Structure 1
Amino acid sequence: MTRIVLIGAPAAAAVSLVLGVGLGGEDEVPLADRPQAVRQAATPAPNPLKAGSAAEQRALDERIDTLPPGLADPAKKEIAARLVASAEHSTLNWRGRYGAIEDLGDGNGYTAGIIGFCSGTNDMLQLVEAYTATHPDNGLARYLPALRQVDGTDTHEGLDPGFAAAWVAEAKKQAFRDAQDAARDRIYFDPAVRLAKMDGLGTLGQFIYYDAMLLHGPGLDEHGFYGIRRAAMQQARTAAEGGDEKVYLNAVLDASRSVMKTRLSTAQRDTSRIDTAQRVFLRDGNLDLTAPLEWQVYGETFRIPAA
């Protein structure tokens, strides 16, 4: 199950709820608007969580830096990686998926790597461009023109034959595995965790944001992560606004589930990653995402024992 699209576009300015200022409508802490119907050149998007005056930004950074690491704690981040792998790859061994690549028939072209970077949703292009900038002689560099051409589509034109084999070969190198980790963090993990902290959410809430951003992409419309967040905020207040964290997170899961049922392809509409995983942790009050954990995805049971 992979995100929808991730075409780069200018980001709107953000004002942190942590600073006590909430914005409504399209101005709510967006990353970048990446609508499926609009294809633009793949350029690094500005960081939307760095906005306002320098003094406001320093205050925000200092406030967030004083918060517990939450999902960014190495042990919790490992749990997050295993949870994602259970939904994306039906395994807990996420480190064994760097070389995975296939076309799932979901309209996103090739899906590959630890989180399912897609040739049709821009994140694969961002990954290969960043990797090539530091390793210009890598085996995927020759496919960059084709990746730019197919971005936003499901075609393999210019990629076949050879791209899949090149990906598998490159994934045997530590440098490319490190590049996948870095792209995951830069595009999805770090922004999701930071925003969740701004919304006053604990470790489970940070994971719920992260998983939703992976699945739906950081788009502003109703089908993207920020649209889902906006829909949830219309139903419940965030913890930073004085709301009940569990009530708000249930609203986020409701909104994400609704998009899965209406937006994704029929093959992707299994909502067990919410129904029998995240919702279970929330119902149990495990807001710190503390092991032992037991959950089901696609009918298969997974467990992480206590440390």
Structure 2
Amino acid sequence: MADSRTWMTAGLLALASGCGAQEDAVMPAAVEQALGACTHSVTTNTYDGPLYWGTLVFKNTGTVAITNPHILLDVPSGATCDYDPAGWTHTQSGRTCSFTRTSALTVAVNASYTFNYSTNSNASWTATNVRVQSDSCGGTSPGGSGLTANQKKVAEGLTSIWENDTPTLDYAYSENIYDGRGYTSGRAGFCTGTGDAIQVVQCYRALRTEANGNRLAKYWNALTVINNRFLSTGQSQASTAELDAVGSWTSDWAASFNTAATQADFKQCQDQVSDALYYTPTITEAAKWGLTQALTKAALYDASINHGFDGMKDLIRKANTALGNSGQVAPVVGYNGITESAFLQKFLEKRRDVLAADSTWVEAVDRVAAYEKQRRRGNWDLGTALRNDVRARDCWGTTYPASGYTVRNINPDGTWSTPSSYTYSCQ
């Protein structure tokens, strides 16, 4: 963990992650389809300032062809993407340039593709946060407007407080919190017993062999045995016996990030799987329901990490029904006068009730209140610094237990600090 709090508090924080699967709401077929379907490695990433020319080469390291890829990359502040390569068109939001295909393109398994772009910058640098997405990758191409780079940092930082008690994403974190899902690890609480940790390892194996420093490669057969049980039963797998017979999973997971030679590859795989399973599907789901505000998308994203994507969708259905939209008409915003604020309020209340009704989850109920406080404050674009200095009891009464999360201050650019003083309030 990121601090020296007791195991009980740390365990509750990690428990809030949900490992991408809400119990009794698992969809093994969807996990099986996504498992290893699309992964890639960026083998070249340069920008030659004097030539105004950027070059990306990515290799399809997955098990299916990547069709009509969608390439996103972040350029330095002040740089503007100003060129559409043949077969591509682009948009830019803040520092993020997003390139989509105007004609068909297929990148076969094990094949590489060279992508060139240009900006108005004459300095030399390396693009950051490079992502390659595609509809052929289990629905990972975004179907709606995503968060800006800074909004995503704020959203991920807030979720990371519930995961690891710090807005800094903890890629090295790993422990068994004894919630029936095996080892919980990494920035999104990937679990060995719910089908998402294995996807990180498969991506990582495609980038590095065991001989090349991959400490997790030796667990592959054991992970496969556990994952097959998960897929065949639809139930989270608590046992770590197969992994423990091979080595120390938690130590090897941490070392994979803490070792300089392997850190970039391991981080890339965690980011890639987190985006594919949680962030991008959430953005698409938000667009379906007409939800456009950054705060709403951040709240839905956190619910996807906490309850699993299907658990988050179930909360949407409950919110719709409570608002009189039992027919699940989409978009919901504008339907019979429903506003986005009314929807988010009801969504958070339904999520609060799910957490509060389960003895395993009730200690995580405060995480919902943080989004309710920002809704009441009207911080829709996450453009105002926010704190998690609020508990469920502050928003909805005194019957909820306090979760004990450390209060952090997150700025609109994603930087953060720990305030020396604060007052709990939902206003």
Instruction: Report whether the alignment pairs 1:239 with 2:333.
Output: yes
- What is the deviation of 1:258? 1.7
| Residue of structure 2 in register with 1:157 after alignment | 241
What letter is aligned with 2:202? Answer: E
Given the alignment of the two structures, is residue 229 of structure 1 paired with residue 296 of structure 2, yes or no? Answer: no
Tell me how far 1:34 sits from its aligned partner.
7.9
Q: 2:387 aligns with which of 272, 294, 297?
A: 294
How much identity, in percent, do the aligned residues show? Answer: 28
Residue type at the aligned position of 1:90: D
Contact 2:19 2:190 (8 Å CA) reproduced:
no
- Identify the structure with the greater helix proportion: 1
2:32 corresponds in structure 1 to 42
Higher percent of residues as strand: 2
Whether the 8 Å CA contact 2:19–2:189 is kept in 1: the answer is: no
Question: TM-score, normalised on structure 1?
Answer: 0.75
- Counterpart of 1:287 in structure 2: which amino acid? W
1:141 counterpart (217, 220, 229): 217
Quote the RMSD (CA, aligned, Å).
3.1
Q: Which residue of 2 aligns with 1:116?
A: 189
What is the distance in 1 between the residues matched to 2:224 and 2:377? Answer: 45
Distance 2:300 2:31 in 1: 27
- Going from structure 1 to structure 2, the CA distance change for 1:41 and 1:116 (only over 3 Å counts) comes to closer
Matches within 5 A, 1:195-206: 195-201=285-291, 202-206=293-297
Letter in 1 for 2:240: H
Taking the aligned partners of 2:357 and 2:196, their CA distance within structure 1 comes to 23
Letter in 1 for 2:216: L
* Residues 131 and 245 of structure 1, relative CA distance in 2, 3 Å threshold: same
Please say if 1:106 is aligned against 2:182.
no
Does the alignment pair 1:2 with 2:2? Answer: no
The secondary structure found in structure 2 opposite 1:102 is: strand
Q: 2:270 aligned to 158, 175, 180, which one? A: 180
Describe the shift of the 1:81–1:37 C-alpha distance in structure 2 as closer, same or farther (beyond 3 A).
Answer: closer
- SS of the residue corresponding to residue 160 of structure 2 reads helix
Instruction: Give 1:273's aligned residue.
Output: 367
Segments of 5+ residues of structure 1 without an aligned counterpart are: 8-32, 48-57
Residues 213 and 254 from structure 1, CA distance in 2 versus in 1: closer, same or farther, beyond 3 angstroms? same
CA-CA distance at 1:77 after TM superposition:
0.9
Distance 1:304 1:65 in 2: 26
Q: Is the CA contact (8 Å cut-off) linking 1:3 and 1:216 kept in structure 2?
A: yes
**In the alignment, which of 378, 392, 410 is matched to residue 285 of structure 1?**
378
The letter of the residue matching 2:289 is D
How many residue pairs get matched? 258
**Would the aligned equivalents of 1:199 and 1:240 in 2 still touch at CA under 8 Å?**
no
The TM-score, its normalising length taken from structure 2, stands at: 0.55
CA contact (8 A) 1:192 1:210 kept: yes
Distance, in Å, in 2 between the alignment partners of 1:112 and 1:181 is: 13
2:83 matched to which residue of 1? none
Match for 2:189: what amino acid? G
Q: Please tell me whether Structure 1 or Structure 2 has the larger radius of gyration of its CA atoms.
A: 2
SS in 1 for 2:407: strand
Task: Look up the SS of the partner of 2:32 in the other structure.
Answer: coil
Counterpart position of 2:253: 167
C-alpha distance in 2 between matches for 1:292 and 1:76: 11
Following the alignment from structure 2 to structure 1, what is the Cα–Cα distance between the partners of residues 294 and 321?
Answer: 22
Q: Cα–Cα, structure 1 residues 274 and 130, in superposed 2: closer, same or farther, change >3 Å? A: same
SS of 2:280's partner is helix
